[in-house]
Structure 1
């Protein structure tokens, strides 16, 4: 296996183990780190869903 993947998995396991595999504790820890960080948090809006309609043997795209 790739060494980078092994390292990431090892770190992830150590981190979750340090929080006793408790998702609420992990969430709170990450939220706290996020609030203390000076990095800007960016949220991208989702793109509108598209669906396809078959017309005269052609597919046409429509936005919902």
Structure 2
């Protein structure tokens, strides 16, 4: 899947070196997740509902 027009952002909680995941959630029907150190590498994609469920669960930990 190509994520043309994706706007990638890092967590405000990323470390000082910024090595973390980036998320693109500005596209309709898909959320992309990638490694900030390998921006040309593979991207995981999720439907928005599954992504919200994951984030909600992760915040509880």
TM-score normalised by structure 1 residue count: 0.31
Larger relative CO (CA 8 A, sep 6+): 1 or 2?
Answer: 2
Structure with higher Rg: it is 1
Normalized per residue, which structure has more helix? 1
**TM-score normalised by structure 2 residue count:** 0.32
